[in-house]
Structure 1
Amino acid sequence: MYTSELIKGTLKTIILNLLKERGKMYGYEITQTVKEMTDGKIKITEGALYPTLHSLEKNGDIGFEKEYIGKRVRKYYTLTEQGQKTVLVKVNEFADFIETMKYLLDIQQKPSNA
């Protein structure tokens, strides 16, 4: 499992990209999908997830719709039009960051744009 410091810096990118790929998701679904996709290496806690979702919502990158399931209310999060653009920026930024870190840590040759 990765440290919370590593996950914290990538959480917005992870959430935005999942919503881009899956359309709409609710909080617990996001945590379980990430856990399954990473074979348990990345576990997102509620304490990290919901403040990040609220931040993305406040910034206009995601919206939500409520769905009633019996007596329970479930919030499904989706990307906004702005979020569609933000996810591309975030994913490209992170991909470039990975390449730069590989170079910095002497894992591969220097990237061409570094």
Structure 2
Amino acid sequence: MAKKNALYKGTLQNIILKLLSSEVKMYGYQLTKRAKELTQGELEMTEGALYPLLHKLENEGIIYSHLQNVNGRDRKYYFLTEKGKRQQADQETEMKSYLFNLNTIFSR
């Protein structure tokens, strides 16, 4: 993750879960590309930040993965589990409250 993205680091898990909740399935590169698109290039997730977090989330039962062969190459797709869907919804509520409060503070 680039230096300009330091503030995103603490919310990367929330971002990944939100992206996965918006799509049926996504693979790693697709997650990074979508985050970059949605933020108009502001958020650039590195493999070094993304994949350890995906492995952690999978170990915790929040996401699961499935290998699929696409054009002769294996691609690992990630999905939210039921636990992950509940956690994503809870985190989104918490994040919206956090953003509202930050906006209140910084708009003065």
TM-score normalised according to structure 2 size: 0.89
| Superimposed CA distance per residue, residues 53-108 of structure 1 (whole angstroms, 9 cap, x where no aligned partner) | 11111111100100123442110000001001000011111111111222333x15
Which residue number in structure 1 is paired with residue 99 of structure 2? Answer: 98
Percentage of pairs with the same residue: 40
Counterpart secondary structure, 1:3 = helix
Residue type of the partner of 1:74? Answer: R
* More helix, by proportion: 2
Which residue number in structure 1 is paired with residue 31 of structure 2? Answer: 30
| Superimposed CA distance per residue, residues 19-78 of structure 1 (whole angstroms, 9 cap, x where no aligned partner) | 111010000011011111111011111111101111111111100100123442110000
Structure 1 residue runs of 5 or longer lacking an equivalent are 109-114
Which residue number in structure 2 is paired with residue 79 of structure 1? Answer: 80
What value does the CA root-mean-square deviation take over the aligned residues? 1.7
Which residue number in structure 1 is paired with residue 66 of structure 2? Answer: 65
Looking at CA atoms only, which structure, 1 or 2, has the larger radius of gyration?
Answer: 1
TM-score normalised according to structure 1 size: 0.85
Provide the C-alpha distance between the structure 1 equivalents of 2:5 and 2:38, rounded to a whole number of angstroms.
17
Q: Which structure 1 residue ranges, 4+ long, deviate > 3 Å from structure 2?
A: none
Structure 2 residue runs of 5 or longer lacking an equivalent are none
Question: Alignment length, in residue pairs?
Answer: 107
Provide the C-alpha distance between the structure 2 equivalents of 1:57 and 1:101, rounded to a whole number of angstroms.
31
